[in-house]
Amino acid sequence: MENFYGYDEQFSKRMAQFHAETEGDCTAPAREKHLAIMACLIACGSANIFEKHIPRAISEGVTAEEVRELLYQASAYVGEARAYDFFAAAGRILGPAQVQPFNPDKAERLKAGEQAQTDIFGEGMRGFANAGEGADKIIHSRLVSNCFGDYYTRGAIDYRVRELITVCILLTLGDVKPQLTSHIKAAVANGNSKDYLKQVVLLLQPYNGYPRTLNALSAIESA
């Protein structure tokens, strides 16, 4: 990690050593380490560090398309207001987006989203878009068509890694225990072991601090 603390050289060196230790302890492939770190930075709101991290991620196996896909997926969890600065940061480093267009057909997005959600969470999620009444039904439909239909179906990043990304975002956001527990279970069901998730949580500790790290480890263990 480069010197982000020009006013305090000693702290900068200590953090650089800390990052080297946490990255060395994590057995995840470099590509997944970087996707996890960038997901965490988005949820932290750290656009400055995110922008500085992109070149290293690209040099170690993350593609420009994957950076864009990470941003699209993250926007569903952190919201447009928080994601905006990260799209701008990516644009400054990567230039204009060169990705497949979004499908404008709502019915097709809903159908594709339901299939993705079912593939990830199981048959119990089929029909979720129509569950409830009023505002509940509206948000369920949007979740299926937008979060899953618009983003999870786009390829480039498979379901296993997408669920890893989502867990990183949620554990960093904090105060989302029901969603975090659900996605931890989905991450495990799609090929991420609990031990692997714990390694990634520890990788993110310098960014997230001890309380969220401890909470995330506990959530993984009890999920």
DSSP result, 146-198: IIIIIIGGG-SS-HHHHHHHHHHHHHHH-S-HHHHHHHHHHHHHTT--HHHHH
Specify the pLDDT at position 4. 55
CB 168 within 8 A of CB 199: no
Q: What residues does each domain of the chain span?
A: 15-99+159-222, 100-155
Per-residue confidence (pLDDT) for residue 100, from 0 to 100: 79
What would the pLDDT profile of 124-149 be if each residue is shown by its tens digit? Answer: 999 999 999 999 999 999 999 999 99
Q: Over 90: is that where the pLDDT of 162 sits?
A: yes
Per-residue confidence at 153, pLDDT binned at 50, 70, 90? very high
pLDDT of residue 99: 76
Question: pTM score, two decimals?
Answer: 0.94
Which class is domain 15-99+159-222? mainly alpha
- The per-residue pLDDT for 5 is 59
